[in-house]
A and B are shown apart, each in its own frame.
Chain A
Amino acid sequence: MTMVDIERSADAAVAPKSAARLDAPRRRFIGVAQSPSLLILAIPALIFYGFAVLVPSIRGAVLAFTNWDGLSQNYDFIGLDNFVRIFTSQSSLDALRMTLIFAIAVTVLQNGIGLLLALGVNSGLKSQNFLRVLFFAPVVITPVVVAYLWKFLLTPNGAVNTVLDAVGLGELAPSWLGDPFWAAGSVVMMIVWQHAGYSMVIYIAGLQSIPQEINEAAAVDGAGSWRRFWSVTWPLLAPATAINIMLTIIGGLKMFTEVFVLTAGGPGGSTETMSTLLYKSAFQFNEFGYGIALALVLAIVVVFFSVAQQRMSRKGN
């Protein structure tokens, strides 16, 4: 028997007393499995987490107030200069605006299409399993691969324009990656293609939790399918919608690989996001302090949206 065992048997024998002795008096002590010595098991995880996330994040929060170049040992504290620069320079304001536009566009389109796919797949089709597997497949594909694939699809002689030509719409084909508006549109289109299946799967789970009888009762009362969707299905899908919005907003705000590979922030910096800008600042221009400040602002934006979204969905319920 080890020390821990002895301690625990003692706990078991004189539970209330030893509980009071070992820990804060307010601790609720229910069973043997609750011995505080159990917490030893959390130590390995805390070491890895501390090394990779907690300590560097705290250091990051400090370095954001310096002019550190990432190489030299010396740096000066420059107060709020990095943050003032973020909120006054055109390039970072544009990146902040683009990040928000991407997040909102992706949220609306991906969830809209995901919902339509879910309703279609879940409407009693013979091929529903096959379709579900197929629509979800892009979710697991490596984003770098997806981005290169779309880069080719969208070249002037690429597959997308070939299709447009074939159906007689060739005249309308824009310069997908050469025009600021369409470059941003291309990024959104690609993201939605890759992740709509994810939103779909969550909506399918939501749809399947709606009791069949409710819809049948509404139909008996004479509600048409449109009316049934808006008054029955949609409100009951609220939890699935909340999860989906949360996921797409956070994913859209943090987006890096897709933009970096597909447009590299171009043309002319028009699709630069906070993530690509902070990468360039830190690793191409050696402005680590500024790069971390950008990351910190992004972090605050992400937290703000997560909390706001949670509040809203709680109110909705």
Chain B
Amino acid sequence: MFRYTKGTFTREAVMLLVALVFIFPIYVLVNMALRPANDATSPLVPSLQPTFDNFAEAWNQAGLAQALLNSTIVTVTSVVLIVAISSMAAYPLARVMSKLSTTVFWIVLVGMMIPFQVALIPLYQTMRDLGLLGSLASLILFYTGSQVPFSVFLYTGFLRTLERDYEEAAALDGAGTFRTFLSIVFPLLRPITGTVIILNAITVWNDFLVPLLYLSGTPQQTVTVALYAFVGQFVSNWPVVFAGLVISVAPVLLVYFLMQRQIIKGFAGGLKG
């Protein structure tokens, strides 16, 4: 049984007070989104006549349905591709000890140091020449490529801690390279694959600059860009704006609260690699 002493009680009370300060912006966000547009009371007072009208208006005005769909398509496709190609690449890079293999590994890791802005501008021109500007494909291509270094880094780090017994047994049984990878190695990578999925999905879903550049001036929008355009238009109508913000952040927070254990572990564990 947990029993409070004077010390633990004080500490608990202080921490809960800090938690209140922390949660305060979120409280204001939700409270504002629920109030009628003409309600002029302080943003701190809970709304007396909560309404969902703002949500309906934001949903329709900001084109959030399409934006949420686009963000989902981009995030899911990018993450699937990232997991597939990074795990596949990490297998030889962790196992083959040739000079070529080490060189390739370092070339990939250099990508973690380069700020992506250096590549973003020249790539903008390439995307334009390929006719991909304004398409979701341009985003998927960018995220998949730019997340390779970090993901390969996580996978190789994990693979180096794994014994080779299973792979060698499979190879002796005559399984091909790809077969061995798919049915032996990839399933063993499951824990780190979880981390790779979580970290990349959050990065891709939340990104703002790349869709701002590559989708600007087109009807295709992701959630972040849709919000940016929407707020520019409705800047004085904070309740509607806040409803839009709540809608766009709801999926992320829902996933977070459902999977908080894995997600926090993913963030903390991803670093130790």
Which residues of A line the B interface, CB within 8 A? 1-2, 4-5, 8-9, 12, 23-24, 26-42, 44-46, 48-54, 56-57, 59-61, 63, 70, 117, 120-121, 123-127, 131-145, 148-150, 152-153, 158-159, 162-163, 166, 193, 198, 201-202, 204-205, 243, 247, 254, 256-257, 260-261, 275, 278-279, 282-283, 288, 291-292, 295-296, 298-299, 302-303, 306
Contact = CB atoms under 8 A, between A and B. Distances in A.
Given A5-B174, A38-B92, A49-B148, A153 B25 contact: yes
Interface size range of chain B in the complex: 35 or more
Contacts of B97: 27-30, 34
Given A5-B176, A32-B172, A306-B113, A49 B104 contact: no
A111 B83 CA distance: 31
A303 B113 contact: yes
Given A145-B248, A152-B238, A133 B144 contact: no
B12 A127 contact: yes
Contacts of A24: 98-100
B121 A295 contact: yes
Contact of A52 (B14, B42, B142, B168): B142
Contact of A143 (B172, B208, B271): B208
Contacts of A282: 121
A159 to B, nearest CB: 5
Interface in B80-122: 81, 84-86, 88-89, 91-93, 95-101, 104, 107-108, 111, 113-122
6 contacts: A27-B99, A44-B84, A53-B111, A133-B264, A134-B19, A162-B43
Given A48-B148, A137-B256, A35 B98 contact: no
Q: Which secondary structure dominates chain A's binding surface?
A: helix
Interface of B: 2, 4, 8, 11-12, 14-16, 18-19, 22-26, 28-29, 32, 42-44, 81, 84-86, 88-89, 91-93, 95-101, 104, 107-108, 111, 113-126, 141-142, 144-146, 148-149, 152, 164, 167-168, 171-172, 174, 176-178, 180-181, 202, 205-206, 208-209, 213, 223-224, 227-228, 231, 238, 241-242, 245, 248-249, 252-253, 256-257, 260, 263-264, 267-268, 271
The 5 A-B pairs of least Cβ separation, nearest first, read: A52-B145, A45-B89, A38-B92, A56-B119, A42-B89
B145 A31 contact: no
Most buried by A among B145, B241, B253: B145
Contacts of B176: 1-2, 4-5
